[in-house]
C-alpha cells in the first residue's frame, strides 16, 4: 500500500479536505461523511495515536540510524491498511525548529488519511507555531492567546488536545495560566463523558507547570487518561487513578531498548485498550495490548 504515499497533493488540494483550527491543534476533517447513514451513539471508537514524527524538509534526513520519513511511511501504511476512526499526533511534527518545507511534507504524507478521517495535530517543542499555521494556511483564532486547543467528541469519549509548546527547540514545555483557566472552566461545565487529555510534554517530568495541571485534572473524575510523547519512551503510569500513557516516538528512539512506532487505541466508556505497533527499534512488545479501566 506504499503507493498511496507517492501521490502529490498541493496545498490547495490538501486544504480542500477540510481544515479547521480549534484550539491547540489543527483539525483535519474529511470533506463529507463517508456514509449517509444517521449518526448513532457508539460503544467504542478506535484511534491511531502517534508522537514525535520529526519530519524534516528532506526525506533523507536521519538520526540515530533512523529515517523519520520512512518510519512515518511505515506507520501510515499500517494505519491506512485498517483505517481507524481518526488519528492524533501529539507534537514534534518537525525535525528541529519547524519550517514551512517540513510542514509541507507532513501535509503530503497525511493527506490520504485526512481525506477519509479526522487528523488532529498537536505542537511540540521542536515545532514553530507561526510556521505551522502559515504552512497550513490558517490564522491563530482561539480564546487562549498563543495556545491552540481542540475538543472532539468521538463516540463514547471526549478528547481535549492541549498546547504545551513554550519555546521552539527548548526542551521544557508549559500549559500556561490562561490555558489552565480555560481547561478548569471547560471541565467544570462539560458533561461527564469520559475524557482523555493530550499534550506533548510528559506531565510529571518535562512540563514546567505539571503540578498545576494535575491539580485541575485529578479532582475532575471525568478525566480518565493523559496521553503524551516527548520522551521517546513507551510507558504506562498512573496518578490518582488517571492513566498516564507515554507514546513511543514514530521518528526515532534514543536507545535500542525502546520501540519506534505508534499505538492503536480502542476506547469505550469503561476503559481503553492500547496496542503497540512497532515499525523499528525494539519489537519486544510489538502487538502487545494494555487494558486500562477508567477510574470511577
In this prediction, the residues of the chain whose per-residue pLDDT falls under 70 are 1-41, 138-142
Range of the domain at 51: 2-33+42-293
Total domains, the chain: 1
pLDDT of residue 135: 85
Give the count of alpha carbons within 13 A of 216, CB side only: 21
What letter would DSSP give residue 63? B
Residue 27 to residue 56: CA distance in whole angstroms: 21
pLDDT of residue 5: 24
Residue 23 to residue 152: CA distance in whole angstroms: 11
pLDDT of residue 2: 27
pLDDT of residue 39: 40
pLDDT of residue 140: 55
Residue 91 to residue 30: CA distance in whole angstroms: 21
pLDDT of residue 116: 97
pLDDT of residue 238: 97
| Residue 246's CATH number | 3.60.21.10
Give the helix/strand (H/E) hosting 144: none
pLDDT of residue 41: 55
CA distances to 25, 182, 204 from 53, in Å: 15, 28, 22
pLDDT tens, 233-268?
999 999 999 999 999 999 999 999 999 999 999 999
pLDDT of residue 141: 55
Amino acid at each position: 500500500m506504499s503507493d498511496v504515499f507517492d501521490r502529490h497533493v498541493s496545498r490547495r488540494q490538501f486544504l480542500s479536505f477540510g481544515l479547521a483550527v480549534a484550539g491547540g491543534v489543527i483539525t483535519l476533517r474529511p470533506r463529507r461523511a463517508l456514509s449517509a447513514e444517521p449518526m448513532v451513539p457508539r460503544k467504542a471508537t478506535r484511534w491511531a495515536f502517534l508522537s514525535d514524527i520529526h519530519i524534516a524538509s528532506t526525506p533523507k534526513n536521519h538520526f540515530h540510524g533512523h529515517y523519520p520519513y520512512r518510519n512515518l511511511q511505515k506507520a501510515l501504511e499500517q494505519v491506512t491498511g485498517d483505517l481507524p476512526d481518526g488519528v492524533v499526533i501529539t507534537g514534534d511534527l518537525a525535525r528541529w525548529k519547524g519550517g514551512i518545507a517540513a510542514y509541507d511534507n507532513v501535509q503530503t504524507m497525511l493527506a490520504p488519511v485526512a481525506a477519509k478521517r479526522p487528523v488532529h495535530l498537536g505542537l511540540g517543542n521542536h515545532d514553530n507555531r507561526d510556521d505551522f499555521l502559515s504552512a497550513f494556511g490558517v490564522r491563530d483564532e482561539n480564546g487562549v492567546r498563543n495556545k491552540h486547543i481542540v475538543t472532539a467528541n468521538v463516540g463514547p469519549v471526549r478528547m481535549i488536545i492541549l498546547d504545551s509548546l513554550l519555546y521552539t527547540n527548548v526542551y521544557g514545555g508549559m500549559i500556561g495560566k490562561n490555558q489552565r483557566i480555560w481547561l478548569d472552566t471547560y471541565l467544570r461545565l462539560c458533561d461527564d463523558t469520559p475524557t482523555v487529555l493530550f499534550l506533548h510534554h510528559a506531565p510529571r517530568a518535562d512540563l514546567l507547570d505539571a503540578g498545576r495541571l494535575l491539580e485541575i485534572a485529578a479532582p475532575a473524575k471525568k478525566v480518565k487518561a493523559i496521553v503524551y510523547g516527548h520522551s521517546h519512551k513507551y510507558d504506562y503510569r498512573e496518578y490518582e487513578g488517571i492513566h498516564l500513557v507515554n507514546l513511543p516516538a514514530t521518528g526515532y528512539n534514543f536507545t535500542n531498548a525502546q520501540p519506534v512506532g505508534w499505538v492503536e487505541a480502542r476506547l469505550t466508556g469503561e476503559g481503553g485498550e492500547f496496542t503497540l505497533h512497532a515499525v523499528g527499534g525494539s519489537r519486544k512488545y510489538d502487538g502487545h495490548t494494555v487494558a486500562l479501566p477508567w477510574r470511577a
